[in-house]
């Protein structure tokens, strides 16, 4: 397996566990982290043995934002010509499912990366926020859009305008996270959920992810049509034949991913 300087990678059967590992900077996201994550997510998508991925940080911080020290001296022309951080789209282009397991601070870019995941499982100590306004900027990695989609205008606007942090309990009530678990068992719980997903027929998992994501991009009628076409398409797979036969024969299905 490739060695990274800002990430720790573990394999748990069909689940890849990725830990952000810049403890000296509370996992602040710099260009190196992005380059390594792009590599890890591309490798995960291409690896037929891996069917779910968990991205996590440390107990104190999932990630405390984009690296302020890296951005501090940049001018408009630098940011614009480099299309700074546009590479995150390669992470959101990942076709297979992945979960963010958030403990501690998920601020600015950290909150934005967590929201790029298919869903978030939070430790009870998690704190989400978009404090960029205090630095004279705004969210820049999709935070204003994804936060508004997740929690609605009132809370998203309040958080982006005041930088207020939202705790785990409020985040669950608001729909930002799927589930809150004790911080001490966060990674185990996320791995358990990931293993459940990894045991599903892989093409149906990709299709389910694609269609739920379409709900945030397409008008309802187009989204429903898109869903129906993908549903029809799954009837061309071996796993649909196996899944329905297994149900009728009262046995577990065995998936080929074909």
Long-range contacts made by residues 18-25, C-beta under 8 angstroms, separation at least 24? 18/53, 18/54, 18/55, 18/56, 19/56, 19/57, 19/58, 20/55, 20/56, 20/57, 20/58, 20/62, 20/63, 21/58, 23/58, 25/64, 25/67, 25/69
Q: How far is the CB of 67 from ligand CO8 (least distance, A)?
A: 4
Smallest distance, Å, CB 120 to ligand CO8? 17
**208 contacts: CB under 8 Å, gap ≥ 6:** none
66 is catalytic: yes
Q: Which is nearer to ligand CO8, 131 or 201 (CB)?
A: 131
- 112 is known as an active-site residue: yes
Shortest distance, position 39 Cβ to ligand CO8, whole Å: 20
Q: Which residues are at the interface with ligand CO8 (CB under 6 A)?
A: 25-26, 28, 64-69, 84-85, 105, 107-109, 131-132, 135, 139-141
Pick the catalytic residue: 36, 112, 189, 227? 112
The first and second tokens of residue 29, run together, are 């996201």
Nearer residue to ligand CO8 within complex by CB, 6 or 50: 6
Q: What are phi and psi of 129, to 5 degrees?
A: -165, 160
Distance CA 67, CA 33 (A): 10
Find the shortest distance in angstroms from Cβ 134 to ligand CO8: 6
Residue 26 or residue 204: which is nearer to ligand CO8 going by CB? 26
Query: Catalytic residues, which ones?
Result: 66, 109, 112, 132
């Amino acid at each position: 397996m490739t060695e990274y300087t800002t990430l720790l990678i573990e394999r748990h059967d069909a689940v890849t566990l990725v830990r952000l590992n810049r403890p000296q900077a509370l996992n602040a996201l710099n260009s190196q982290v992005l380059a390594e994550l792009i590599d890890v997510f591309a490798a995960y998508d291409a690896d037929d043995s891996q069917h779910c991925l968990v991205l996590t940080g440390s107990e104190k911080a999932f990630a405390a934002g984009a690296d302020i020290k890296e951005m501090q001296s940049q001018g408009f022309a630098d940011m614009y010509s480099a299309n700074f951080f546009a590479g995150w789209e390669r992470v959101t282009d990942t076709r297979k499912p992945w979960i963010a397991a958030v403990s501690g601070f998920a601020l600015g870019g950290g909150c934005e990366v967590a929201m790029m995941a298919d869903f978030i499982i939070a430790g009870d100590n998690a704190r989400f926020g978009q404090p960029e306004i205090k630095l004279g900027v705004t969210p820049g990695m999709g935070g204003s859009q994804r936060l508004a989609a997740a929690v609605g205008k009132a809370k998203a606007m309040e958080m982006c305008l005041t930088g207020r942090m939202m705790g785990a309990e409020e985040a669950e009530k608001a729909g930002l996270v799927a589930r809150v678990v004790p911080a001490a068992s966060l990674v185990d719980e996320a791995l358990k959920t990931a293993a459940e997903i990894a045991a599903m027929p892989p093409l149906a998992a990709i299709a389910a992810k694609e269609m739920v994501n379409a709900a945030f991009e397409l008008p309802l009628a187009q989204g429903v049509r898109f869903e129906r076409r993908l549903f029809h398409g799954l009837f061309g797979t071996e796993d649909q034949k196996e899944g329905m036969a297994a149900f009728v024969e009262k046995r577990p299905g065995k998936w080929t991913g074909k």
